[in-house]
Amino acid sequence: MRHCIWANGAGAVAEGPVEVDIGAGCWEQVEIEICFDPHYPLSPPRIYDRLRRWCPLDDRHLMPGGEFCLWLEHVDIPDFTDPAAFRNLLLRLLPFLRDQFVFDDLGKWPGPQWAHGRRDAYAQHLIERLALSSPADFEALWPALLGALPRSDRACPCGSRLLYGHCHRPVVLELDWVRRLPVRDELPDAVKERLLNAA
């Protein structure tokens, strides 16, 4: 791959072909572009379908401009301050590219994925992390997610009869970033919709 570092300090770019195993002993080349902004490794690189091989489409996790949607912010972005993170990113990228070819054949994404759109993706994450089974469970925990933390020695708002400190407190503390999300106020409705649709 070719590497360029901008002299004005605006970041760097790596671009070139990646060989993708598409099965049955066949390989395809995909031209990609990896853009690093000046804050890397504190901010993740952005990866693009350089030659626009595929049309942007939510269902194939390809955003306008050809950017690959490889993670959900706050949830599964690799920690790029870890020296192994870039290698792990490439190991995540290869199956993602293979799945693009599977999508070409099947017309649908072949593996696990986040719901489309930040609102629904974060709602899915909250349901999974908080182990929610009903809208009432979420309504009871929502004030804690917004910062109104119950005392650890009191009953958990979820109704489990466990002390909050031994029930949802650790997860709620991990989810403190939720209150800063631009889509925060949309999450209660999104969580309720997903729970009701799953019932």
**Nearest CA among 38, 61, 58 for reference residue 48:** 61
The predicted pLDDT at position 56 comes to 94
Q: Which two tokens stand for residue 153?
A: 């020695």
Q: Are 142 and 127 in contact (CB under 8 A)?
A: no
The predicted pLDDT at position 86 comes to 87
Q: Are 128 and 191 in contact (CB under 8 A)?
A: no
State whether 100 and 122 are in the same domain. no
- What is the per-residue pLDDT across 149-184, written as a single tens digit (0 to 9) for each? 899 999 999 999 999 999 999 999 999 999 999 999
Q: Are 69 and 92 in contact (CB under 8 A)?
A: no
State whether 34 and 65 are in the same domain. yes
State whether 134 and 87 are in the same domain. no
In-domain check, residue 112: no
Residue 53 has pLDDT above 80, yes or no: yes
The predicted pLDDT at position 6 comes to 84
* pTM of the entire predicted model: 0.81
- What is the per-residue pLDDT across 62-95, written as a single tens digit (0 to 9) for each? 999 999 999 999 999 888 988 888 888 888 899 9
The predicted pLDDT at position 28 comes to 96
In-domain check, residue 122: yes
State whether 98 and 126 are in the same domain. no
The predicted pLDDT at position 70 comes to 92
The predicted pLDDT at position 112 comes to 86
State whether 10 and 85 are in the same domain. yes
- What is the per-residue pLDDT across 99-118, written as a single tens digit (0 to 9) for each? 999 999 999 999 888 988 89
State whether 101 and 122 are in the same domain. no
- What is the per-residue pLDDT across 16-52, written as a single tens digit (0 to 9) for each? 999 999 988 999 999 999 999 999 999 999 999 999 9
State whether 138 and 177 are in the same domain. yes
The number of helix segments (H) and strand segments (E) in the chain equals: 5, 4
State whether 138 and 66 are in the same domain. no
What is the distance between the alpha carbons of residues 97 and 88, in angstroms, rounded to a whole number?
Answer: 15
For 140, the enclosing helix (H) or strand (E) is helix 135-145
What is the distance between the alpha carbons of residues 93 and 102, in angstroms, rounded to a whole number?
Answer: 14
State whether 74 and 137 are in the same domain. no
- At 42 the three-state DSSP class reads coil
Residue span of the structural domain in which 126 resides: 118-198
